[in-house]
Amino acid sequence: MNKTIFLFCLALTTVVLQAQDGNNICVSNALQYYMTQGGDFNELERAIKCSDEAAVHEKTSLLSKTFYYRAQLYTLISTDKTLAPKYPFAAFEASKAFVKLKDMNDPKFRDWSDALKSADAAIRQLYNEAINSYEQKNFAQAEKYFYEVGNLAKVFEFKSQKSPIEPLNSLRNAATCADLAGNIEGAIKILTEMKDAGKADTATYVKLGSFLKKAGKKEDAMKIIDEGLQKYSKDANLLIEKLNFYLDEQKYVEGLNYLNSLLEVNPNNAEALFIKGLAYENEKIRNEDSIVFYYNRTIEVNPKSSKAWNNLGAYYVSQANKLNADIDKLGNSAADSKKYDEIKLKQKDFLLKAKPYFVKAKELSPEDQLIERNLKQIELKTQ
């Protein structure tokens, strides 16, 4: 945070507060003293009581300045090395004050530029605390903080500014943490709010569908996935989720019919072709020729589909691995030793066949760690 800009803001507003109550003057003076005296945390701590009283007083609770200063106070506390451990909810309190300032929508408030600078620091601190809570497996608190990041992001949106923390990811994180905390209904509620607000992307629909299914609400889950497909008809993850409903219910014919209906409308639907290849990898309807055919068709339609190249390579690796069962059956006879050598050659042939597919997949997606690992394993086994 830029201290000179922050101090300038405080100096401008102090005169205005002279006619207000002592509590707001108390907070204002503490903020100024902290900024001018190199960070005297004692002044901030003493100002907490003043801010708390101002926030509930019948007169000062109606003033936008009350919550502007409260937001700044708790933002500074949340970033002060001495006070932050003592007041772990400071960033959360700062966020609530910023949101209150937004909701008041005071046309006379003129300090939004400086308020947003403080809000920038607050939202970053709040997000970091959400991450820390998640890493400490305090999922209920992580949910609370991630969700509040979404609320604070609305302050930036209110002023037509971009939030420094992406709100959709943060809200999805909140839903995930709610689920991990055993609050599946809370997770569903968060994602439903996002959807109803018109802010659901494909990942939100997929996650909401999975949570509804987990809660035993399969019909609602299917409706959500269908709703998502109405908006994002070509999204692979939504298409896979739709197919999984059929597979989970062992409705394999219906699942394939669903994919066929997509291909009837557009025979060159690369996502549907890819998913059909993926569907034939399901052990209940596994068909080796169809797996290879549909992955190859995907590549014909979309040569840049790294996942199709990768899955074809993985298919040939699986063929090599299946031969391990034949090796396990061999004994120590000369005939079995000969069979062993023959099987190892077949395995190597499959792996060599797989290698160019992984090479191409890596070329298309150089940052994909899974493809990188697959390729390295092939290189080790075929030396």
pLDDT of residue 117: 94
**pLDDT value of position 10:** 41
What is the reported pTM? 0.68
- 253 within domain boundaries: yes
| 172 lies in some domain | no
DSSP at 62: G
The answer to whether the beta carbons of residues 313 and 374 sit under 8 Å apart is yes
pLDDT of residue 36: 81
Rg, C-alpha atoms of the chain: 29
Domain boundary among 271, 303, 335: 303
Q: Are residues 58 and 157 in the same domain?
A: yes
Boundary residue ending a domain (131, 165, 199)? 165
Whether residue 141 sits in one domain with residue 104: yes
Q: How much is the pLDDT for 272?
A: 86
Residue 84, in any domain of the structure: yes
* Nearest residue to 129 (alpha-carbon basis) of 113, 116, 148: 148
pLDDT of residue 193: 94
Query: Does residue 79 share a domain with residue 223?
Result: no
Question: What CATH number is associated with residue 294?
Answer: 1.25.40.10
* Token pair for 80: 């002060």
Give me the phi and psi of 186, to 5 degrees please: -65, -40
- Sequence-distant (≥ 6) Cβ neighbours of residue 17 within 8 angstroms: 24, 25, 28, 65
Same domain, 295 and 316: no
Residue 13 lies in a domain: yes
**Spatial separation of the C-alpha atoms in residues 272 and 268, rounded to whole Å:** 8
Q: Identify whether residues 377 and 315 lie together within a single domain.
A: yes
User: How high is the pLDDT of residue 278?
Assistant: 87
Q: How far apart are CA 89 and CA 34, in angstroms?
A: 20
Tell me the two tokens of residue 169.
């990811």
User: How many domains does the chain contain in total?
Assistant: 4
**Per the domain annotation, does 138 fall within a domain?**
yes
**Distance in angstroms (rounded) separating the CA atoms of residues 288 and 148:** 49
264, 366: one domain: no
Do 277 and 241 belong together in one domain? Answer: yes
- Domain membership of residue 171 (yes or no) is no
One domain for residues 238 and 225: no
Q: What is the pLDDT along the chain (383 residues), one digit of tens a residue?
A: 233 233 334 433 444 444 447 899 999 889 988 888 776 788 898 899 999 999 999 899 999 999 999 999 999 999 888 999 999 999 999 999 999 999 999 999 999 999 999 999 999 999 999 999 999 999 999 999 999 999 999 999 999 999 999 999 999 999 999 999 999 999 999 999 999 989 889 999 999 999 999 999 999 999 999 999 999 987 878 888 888 888 788 787 888 888 888 888 789 988 889 988 988 888 778 899 999 999 999 999 999 999 999 999 999 999 999 999 999 999 989 999 999 999 999 999 999 999 999 999 999 999 888 888 888 888 888 87
**% helix, strand, coil for the chain, step of 5:** 75, 0, 25
Q: Is residue 170 part of a domain?
A: no
Determine which helix (DSSP H) or strand (DSSP E) holds 89, and give its type and residue range.
none
Residues 257 and 341 in one domain: no
If asked whether residues 247 and 212 sit together in one domain, one would say: no
- Of 132, 165, 198, the residue that ends a domain is 165
Distance CA 27, CA 76 (A): 12
25 and 148 housed in the same domain: yes
Residue 282 tokens read as: 């399901």
Whether residues 70 and 146 share a domain: the answer is yes
Predicted pLDDT of residue 15: 41
Amino acid occupying residue 331 = G
Domain that holds residue 277: 233-303
Structural domain contains residue 223: yes
State residue 311's pLDDT score: 94
